[in-house]
Amino acid sequence: MILAIFALFCVSEIVVFPSQQDIYLEAIDVDANDRLIFYSPHENEAVVNDYVKSHIEASPARYFVLRQAGNRHIHLVIQDQVFEVDPNRIFTICGAEGSVRDLNDAADIDQDLMASAVDRAVELGQFILNQFGPVSSETVWIALHNNTDGYEDDGREGEGTVSIDRYQMRLDFGASFLISVFKSHADEDDLFWTTKTEDHDWLGWHGYNSVLQNPDVAVIEDEDDGSLSVFAEMRKVRYLNIEAERFNPESGKGVDHTFTQMHMLQAMIEMLGEQEWWH
Ligand SMILES: [Zn+2]
């Protein structure tokens, strides 16, 4: 009976970002020695969140959701000035600087305030990494994202930049951030992003769309976008990102690929040899 009651609890806590207290991490099932770190950086990409939460109890995994006001971007407030930043661009100084400058019109903004916003963004990245805990050769960072239907300029009124078709095209045209693409019969928007050849091969052989990041992104200056995948490469952490299409309420396009993303997650758990606690 006690166990049954305990199982109803989702052991979730709020970890507030000290420098700006409306930003926080929802932290689920944080135990010592967790090897698998699930992370949802974009608050409006939540198709598979409940599924992850329902499976993570009694596991060697923890799950973090970055939260503020439900949007894709985080808003940093520096002396009454609001700066937008992409929370998946804040894990390096270079990335944070690029994101703050791209998303905020530099022309009419005080440069000192801009520099403070970059500092705040880097601090937020450090805060998140501290919650992930120390890394070892066993650590796996698993990012969960959702993207929109198709991609911009695909001739079919697609949106965004994530699509296995687009990545194949980027590879064909010599982009340096990726070195291999497996395109399966799955929807172009449902794909894995990987940093280990073995993972990429396994997923490709099992019929999934998969992209293998170029390990050199860790040292190519132009590829330092401050994303978790690039930072993982710098720290030599095994990284996986599971991307699936979602409905975009702003455009009315796309469909939540909930079951697909659940199946992709199950497959990844099997690949990691962690099925015993994932039922
Ligand atoms: Zn995302």
Q: For residue 9, what pLDDT band results from cuts at 50, 70 and 90?
A: low
- The contacts found for 173-176 with CB under 8 angstroms, 24 or more apart, are 176/214, 176/216, 176/217, 176/220, 176/222, 176/223
- The rounded Å distance from CA 65 to ligand 1 centre is 12
- The rounded Å distance from CA 272 to ligand 1 centre is 22
- The rounded Å distance from CA 3 to ligand 1 centre is 35
Report the length, in residues, of the chain. 279
- In the predicted structure, residue 7 carries a pLDDT above the cut 50: no
Please write the tens of the pLDDT for every residue from 63-119. Answer: 999 999 999 999 999 998 999 999 999 999 999 999 999 999 877 788 899 999 999
- The rounded Å distance from CA 74 to ligand 1 centre is 12
Above pLDDT 90, what percent of the chain?
Answer: 81
- The rounded Å distance from CA 4 to ligand 1 centre is 35
Query: What is the reported pLDDT for 1?
Result: 38
Please write the tens of the pLDDT for every residue from 248-269. Answer: 999 999 999 999 999 999 999 9
- The rounded Å distance from CA 43 to ligand 1 centre is 8
- In the predicted structure, residue 58 carries a pLDDT above the cut 80: no
Considering the chain, what is the average pLDDT of its residues?
A: 92
Query: What is the reported pLDDT for 3?
Result: 42
User: What pTM did the predictor assign?
Assistant: 0.94
Diameter over CA atoms, the chain: 63
The letter for the amino acid at 14 is I
Please write the tens of the pLDDT for every residue from 131-190. Answer: 999 999 999 999 999 999 999 988 888 888 999 999 999 999 999 999 999 999 999 999
